[in-house]
Amino acid sequence: MTRSGRGARMALAVGDPVPDFTLVAATAESRSEWTLSKVLESGPIVLAFYPLAFTSTCTMQLCEARDRLKELEVLGARVFGFSTDTPHSNQRYAAEARLPFPLLSDPNRVVVERIWETQRVSGVDRVPKRGMMVVGADGRVKHVWITDKPGEWPGLDATLTALGS
């Protein structure tokens, strides 16, 4: 796991099984139920954890995933954003940022606190720390990058490398 800083709660580590969960997934056009175990039947996924929709670094992170989506897909992965924003907010955000992948909503923070680290950002408690997690088709964590610095985003290269290995 690559880290910049430490938090009180640890994210799942490489090799850990990811507990199954169901959340609402929003795209620019719709919202629907999304279940991890069902999605993994089609192969590995990348979860892009972002603290708050409509903020500059979050937009940079998700737009890079959008712009490099073909590279991720060539490696067999599908991308899903993950935040504690509401489904309605995530749907508007997906439309505004022209994101071609679903954004998962965990406004009650039930899932994020089981699998990821949270922090206080811009006066909002228990939002996910910025990061990336690769989950293999076997349901185990293959890669984690996480930061305590909400404005930090070094890019997708480490995630792409993890998918290629």
How does pLDDT run along the chain (165 residues), one tens digit per residue?
Answer: 444 444 445 789 999 999 999 999 999 999 999 999 999 999 999 999 999 999 999 999 999 999 999 999 999 999 999 999 999 999 999 999 999 999 999 999 999 999 999 999 989 999 999 999 999 999 999 999 999 898 999 899 999 999 987
User: One-letter amino acid identity for 5?
Assistant: G
- Residue 60 tokens, joined: 């940079």
Q: Output the pLDDT for position 9.
A: 59
Pick the CATH number of 2-164 from 3.40.30.10, 3.60.10.10, 3.40.50.620, 3.30.1380.20: 3.40.30.10
pTM of the model: 0.93
Residues recorded for the chain: 165
Break the chain into its structural domains and give their ranges: 2-164
Catalytic residues: 58
User: One-letter amino acid identity for 87?
Assistant: P
Task: Name the one residue in this structure whose structure tokens are 């406004």.
Answer: 107
